[in-house]
Amino acid sequence: MAAFSQRLEAALAARREQDLYRRRLTLESAQGPIIRLDGREYLNFCSNDYLGLAAHPRLIEAFRRGAQEFGVGSGASHLVCGHSVPHRQLEEALAEFTGRPRALLFSSGYAANTGILTTLLQRGDQVFEDRLNHASLLDGGLHSGARFRRFPHNDVAALADRMTPVDGATLVAVDGVFSMDGDTAPLADLAKLCAERGAWLMVDDAHGFGVMGERGAGSTEAAGLGMNEVPILMGTLGKAMGTAGAFVAGSESLIEGLVQQARNYIYTTAQPPAIAAATLVALRLLQEESWRRGHLAALIERFRQGARQLDLPLMESRSAIQPLLVGGAGLAVALSERLREMGMLIGAIRPPTVPAGTSRLRITLSAAHSEHQVDRLLEQLSLCLEPSDCS
Ligand SMILES: *Cc1c(COP(=O)(O)O)cnc(C)c1O
């Protein structure tokens, strides 16, 4: 027993020393542009609630009604008796919206990615992943039994070089929008390469779904790619959709194969039906209220212009994720704490989430923010990023 305690305590001490110790915030309010924490209100620039739907009255109402009719817990896994009408309706709506024959709900994006990759891949196959892919895609690839290979971020030529034929099948998996950088994958080029080499392309669109594309259908829509080019489309529901869970959309055989074989799907309790009921309404709002995407795009532009004028260390991102590259973990934490004192909540992202030396302030914008709030953010950043002011 002592061995475990010693190991844990040593690891904790090391994290503290390297400024990598993480603390959880405890919110005292709903998610939104202004949140309460320790009895104080903060302007919130660190949630993934990109469309401002997480506490939308219509979602709350749908959630309440869903709970009234279907109860709180689903009571079982999908294959036993936990699959109910809202789950089925949401799967059908997601399939239609993404233009694919079928969609399948998972309880989280992490479960979806690891489930898809470990089910689809086997020994003799190979899987290529962008170095900056989300941890869940990397973990799924690593545990899949296939030969696991990373390629340099967004480098299609390097991928092409590495993509030598194997006996089995080849899969390329990327984030549509990279979660800590905010830039987008070169999906059209990746799709072309995959077509040439007979590989399948999988896109994790956690940060693109609901935000990118003409109708908000995500990065694949923005790139003009359908199911032939991207046979596996995965999206999460806890970000722009404002609820929880994830889905994968694709062919009949892909979806039915996952239903029958994905252990992460089979051996877990179905998400509460009321969540699916609320997500259905989010999907409707997404389509009816395109002004949310328009407003968000305008805020992104406003932020980038302002930040350029202030010479802030912007990264190459057109998405709602607008990180400022800081470098050291200690400095990132100090800046984040300083901003917190000023009433702004912005996360410091450090290793192992990002490579050493690339710690950053990860600013996320939402359609729920006002122009005035973005201007205040810029003002505070300019004060805080004055070196004399903040070390
Ligand atoms: C958030 C995220 C996930 C995980 O989704 P959860 O539903 O939060 O488990 C997967 N991939 C990417 C790119 C993400 O940003």
- List the residue whose alpha carbon is closest to atom 4 of ligand 1: 109
Residue 79: which residues within 8 A CB-CB, separation 6 or more? Answer: 259, 266
pLDDT at 1: 63
The one-letter amino acid at 255: I
Q: Is the pTM of this model over 0.75?
A: yes
Catalytic choice (47, 84, 179, 336) = 179
pLDDT at 391: 45
Q: How far apart are CA 3 and CA 352, in angstroms?
A: 24
pLDDT at 238: 98
CA of 109 to the centre of ligand 1 (A): 5
CA of 132 to the centre of ligand 1 (A): 13
Instruction: Say if residues 151 and 159 touch (Cβ distance below 8 Å).
Output: yes
**What is the token pair recorded at 350?**
């450090």
CA of 276 to the centre of ligand 1 (A): 17
Residue 294: which residues within 8 A CB-CB, separation 6 or more? Answer: none
Pocket test for ligand 1, best of 136, 175, 183 (most atoms within 8 A of CB): 136
What is the edge-to-edge ordering of all strands in the sheet holding 170-175? 102-106, 246-250, 232-236, 200-204, 170-175, 126-130, 147-151
Pocket test for ligand 1, best of 47, 134, 211 (most atoms within 8 A of CB): 134
Q: How far apart are CA 369 and CA 278, in angstroms?
A: 22
Residue 192 falls in the annotated catalytic set: no
The one-letter amino acid at 41: E
Residue 268: which residues within 8 A CB-CB, separation 6 or more? Answer: 77, 107, 111
- Interhelix angle 109-120/135-142, rounded to 10 degrees, is 30
Pocket test for ligand 1, best of 47, 110, 279 (most atoms within 8 A of CB): 110
Dump pLDDT digits (tens) for 282-307: 999 999 999 999 999 999 999 999 99
**What is the token pair recorded at 161?**
């070089």
Instruction: Say if residues 147 and 157 touch (Cβ distance below 8 Å).
Output: no
CA of 179 to the centre of ligand 1 (A): 8
Burial class for 188, CB neighbours closer than 10 Å (0-12, 13-18, 19+): middle
- List the residue whose alpha carbon is closest to atom 10 of ligand 1: 109
Pocket of ligand 1 (CB under 6 A): 108-110, 113, 134, 136, 175, 179, 204, 206-207, 236, 238, 246
Locus of tokens 């010693």:
6
pLDDT at 285: 97
User: How many Cα atoms are found within 13 Å in the side-chain-facing hemisphere of 352?
Assistant: 3
pLDDT at 387: 55
> Domain 25-55+290-384's class?
alpha beta
Residue 179 falls in the annotated catalytic set: yes
Catalytic choice (56, 78, 83, 239) = 239
Catalytic choice (83, 207, 295, 369) = 207
Q: Where are the domains of the chain?
A: 25-55+290-384, 57-288
Q: Alpha helices, DSSP H only, in 321-370?
A: 329-341
CA of 390 to the centre of ligand 1 (A): 32
pLDDT at 204: 98
Q: Which atom of ligand 1 is nearest to the CA of 178?
A: 13
pLDDT at 369: 98
pLDDT at 20: 83
CA of 372 to the centre of ligand 1 (A): 30
Please state, as a whole number, how many other Cβ atoms lie within 10 Å of the Cβ of residue 235.
Answer: 31
Q: Which atom of ligand 1 is nearest to the CA of 207?
A: 15
Locus of tokens 């989010």:
282
Instruction: Say if residues 193 and 159 touch (Cβ distance below 8 Å).
Output: yes
Along the 391 residues of the chain, how does pLDDT read in single tens digits?
A: 689 999 999 999 999 998 888 889 999 999 999 999 999 999 999 999 999 999 999 999 999 999 999 999 999 999 999 999 999 999 999 999 999 999 999 999 999 999 999 999 999 999 999 999 999 999 999 999 999 999 999 999 999 999 999 999 999 999 999 999 999 999 999 999 999 999 999 999 999 999 999 999 999 999 999 999 999 999 999 999 999 999 999 999 999 999 999 999 999 999 999 999 999 999 999 999 999 999 999 999 999 999 999 999 999 999 999 999 999 999 999 999 999 999 999 999 999 889 999 999 999 999 999 999 999 999 999 998 865 445 4
Following CA atoms 14, 15, 18, 19 in sequence, which dihedral angle do they give, to the nearest 10 degrees?
Answer: -150
Q: What is the CATH number of domain 57-288?
A: 3.40.640.10
